[in-house]
Homo-oligomer: A and B are copies of this chain.
Amino acid sequence: MASESGVRRVKALVAYDGTEFSGWQVQDGHLSVQGAIEKVLGTILNHQVRIVASGRTDKGVHALGQVFHFDTINPISLPDLMRGSNALLPRSVRIRRITEMDADFHARFSARYRQYRYFVTGRDLPIFNRYAYVFKRPLDLRAMQRASRLLLGEHDFASFGSPMRKGGSTVRFLKRCEIRHKGSFVVFIIEANAFLRLMVRNTVGALLKVGSGRLDEEGLRRLIEVPTPGSLTPIPPQGLFLWRVFY
């Protein structure tokens, strides 16, 4: 699929533990996931590399299925590139798959849906609290499941998050919002065409309020019908995973 010019567009699937990173995006003087990957790819490919992700993740947020793309003129085989990258990357970042794509593939613009999962647990154990939010009040799963249906579809989610660019649209299409009990965890599965900043953490936070009796369905409905930025306080990042991107 290499173009005549010898430029190849490469798509990569990457998992990371966000605990030690300042977030996805390169920021001066901070250790970002993007920066760590660009440095390693630059070393292996022997030219400067800019990678473009499906979207940014905030400080402390994890990913199982983040997707990014980049261009290279280096003819290295993809298995060698993947092996080499994982050998040089910190253990907290693992490239899971590398594929060559047509030149019009774009990790961000070609993405149709993003799926995030948020893990909540009542058990305050060290091995859980790195990857889940420890929430000790009893939760009414049914009440959360019922309320979550209000969020489905196209809405102005301004109460739940802010646009990346100031003045940008706050309308998003929520395709799926599922809440499941799994072992020691309550798992929130949320899929949308795109997300506002802090939208998943604010949405799950509002549902936890419903589940613990501090917000009723009417209150949640009002947050949707009367978009009011700043209505919610985001819950912590460590329970959040960018789970999958659909193209």
Contacts and interface: CB of A to CB of B under 8 A. Distances in A.
A24 to B, nearest CB: 14
A46 B7 CA distance: 68
A147 B93 CA distance: 36
A94 interface: yes
A191 interface: no
A17 B127 contact: yes
B131 A94 contact: no
Interface residues of A, number: 18
Contacts of A131: 127
Interface string A62-76: 101000000000000
Contacts of A125: 15, 64, 94, 96
Nearest to A131: B127
A16 B125 CA distance: 8
A93 B129 CA distance: 11
Contact of A126 (B17, B126, B129): B17
Interface in A1-55: 15-17
A124 interface: yes
Interface string A144-155: 000000000000
B126 A92 contact: yes
A166 interface: no
Greatest chain B CB density within 10 A among A16, A96, A126, A129 is at A126
Interface in A123-143: 124-127, 129-131
Contacts of A93: 126
Contacts of A94: 124-126, 129
Interface of A: 15-17, 62, 64, 86, 91-94, 96, 124-127, 129-131
